[in-house]
Structures are given as C-alpha cells and as structure tokens.
Amino acid sequence: MIGISTYVEQARFSVQDALSAVLPWSYVEQVRTAGGRPVLVPPCPDGGLEVLDGLDGLIIAGGQDVEPARYGELAHPKVYTSPVRDAGELPLARHALMHGIPLLGICRGMQVMAVVSGGRLHQHLPEAVGHEGHSMPGPKKRYNNHLVRFASGSKCRELLGAETEVNSYHHQGVADPGRLIPTGWCPDDDLIEAVEHPDHPFAVGVQWHPEDLADPALFVALVTAASQSKARRSSLVTV
C-alpha cells in the first residue's frame, strides 16, 4: 500500500468547479505497474500521521514551493506556496524518515525531505545558478531535459546508472540537504538533483519527475522496499 500525497487545486469535472485534492494519473500508474496499490493521501491540517499506520510506503509528490518560514527564512517575492500542503506533508515526511517507512520524494517532495532534515532551499533558483533552465518550461511547455550524474555507491547510481537524462521543471532547489546525503548533481551547474538518507532502508528524493519517464526503477525500488518492510513487520507480529 503506497500513499501518494495530492495537490490541492481548483478543478473542473462533471458539474463541479471546486477546490480539490488531485494528482496526475501518471503517479498512480507508476505505482500500480511497479506492483503497489496506490492510495491518495490529501493533506490534513494536523499532519494526519495515523494514515501511515495503514501504509507500507509513501511518495511526496511535486507541486508548489515550500514556505521559507519552515526553514527559518523570509519569503522571496517569487515564492509561491501551499500552506495546506506544508502542514500535511512535512509531518508525514518527518515521521517516515524517523521510523524507517520507505519514502520517495519527487521534485517538491525532495525539497520537503531536505527541510524536515534540517536543510534549506534556494528560494528563487535562477538567482542561485544564474539561469532559468530548471524553472522554465521546455519546448513542449512542460519540462526541460538535462543530465544528472550520481555518486558511486548510492542507491540512485545502483538503480539508474552513473548518469541519466531527466525531465526538470522546478522553481526552488536544495541548497543544504541537512542530514540527507547528496547523491546526484546536474553537471551544468552542480545543483543537487538527488538525496538519500544514509541510515534508512529506502529514503530517496529526486528533483525531477520520474512519474513521467519510461524508466520505472525508482517506483519498483520503493515498492520492493515497502514489501520488505511489510514482511518484517508481519514476522514480528507472528513471533
């Protein structure tokens, strides 16, 4: 059972036009194809940690910027946030990291992981890297593509090889990963593109959008880790 955090957006469907908990279908399909059961987890203002009791793994999905006050800074004028998502997702990510729950952070999700690990973000990435290559849509008005190189011995290198091409579209980036370990970088500007928790069975954050790529390796690894975690818990209950 893999929980996936949702966006909170105004959405139109049937006769409705309302604030909604929504998620791109590609997340659902990637988890399902990897052998997991996707469970959508809308943000709960008090964190809603009890939802994790029924899950074997967690994905923090992409979306808006993390509120800079969450890492002790005043907001840059270009920041666009979702306080309701921050309130719901930061406690879930923190709990998953503390208690060994398999966790995959995607784009915003990687930034959430860094913030709850004591890190901080580049609030307006073009000012940090000197270009808008990460934060402007590509020719098809969605992503830009670039390479990411991975550290030797990392889970990302094991899953994706020494180097891979990724799809990128994000306004912020990780400046300091806190207790997480950087394991992937953009060779053009050395921006951190992947992080991992060194003492966790599976806690990986990536700055790109693997749900829209053909390679399912990250989702398969998450579902595998979740299945192993579930088996360990079951054996303890049996004993």
Q: Render pLDDT for 123-167 as a digit per residue (tens, 0 to 9).
A: 999 998 888 778 766 565 678 899 999 999 999 999 999 999 999
Q: Average model confidence (pLDDT) for the chain?
A: 93
Contact 208, 148 (CB under 8 A): yes
For the record, the structure tokens of 7 come out as 């966006």
Catalytic residue among 67, 107, 196, 200: 107
- Give me the pLDDT at residue 94, please: 97
pLDDT digits (tens, 9 = 90+) for 1-23: 999 999 999 999 888 899 999 99
**157 or 47, which is more confident:** 157
Catalytic residue among 89, 193, 196, 211: 211
- Give me the pLDDT at residue 15, please: 86
- Give me the pLDDT at residue 142, please: 79
Could you give the percent of the chain with pLDDT greater than 70? 96
Q: How far is CA 87 from CA 2, 46, 47, in A?
A: 20, 7, 6
Confidence band, pLDDT 50/70/90 cuts, at residue 234: confident
Number of folded domains that form the chain: 1
Which residues form the domain of 22?
2-238
pLDDT score of 43 more than 80: yes
Q: What is the CA radius of gyration of the chain?
A: 17
Contact 93, 196 (CB under 8 A): no
Contact 190, 177 (CB under 8 A): no
- Does residue 44 carry a catalytic annotation? no
Catalytic residue among 134, 146, 171, 209: 209
- Does residue 156 carry a catalytic annotation? no
CATH number, residue 48? 3.40.50.880
Give the 3-state DSSP-derived string for 86-149, with helices as H, strands as E and coil as C. HHHHHHHHHHHHHCCCCEEEECHHHHHHHHHCCCEEECCHHHHHCCCCCCCCCCCCCCEEEEEE
What predicted TM-score, i.e. pTM, was given to this entire model?
0.95
- Does residue 95 carry a catalytic annotation? no
Q: Which residues, at least 6 apart from 231, have a Cβ–Cβ distance to it below 8 Å? A: none
- Give me the pLDDT at residue 238, please: 57
Confidence band, pLDDT 50/70/90 cuts, at residue 90: very high
User: In angstroms, rounded to a whole number, what is the distance separating the alpha carbons of residues 117 and 67?
Assistant: 15
For 148-179, letters b (16+ CB in 10 Å) and e give bbbbeebbbbeebeeebebbbbbbbbbbbbbe
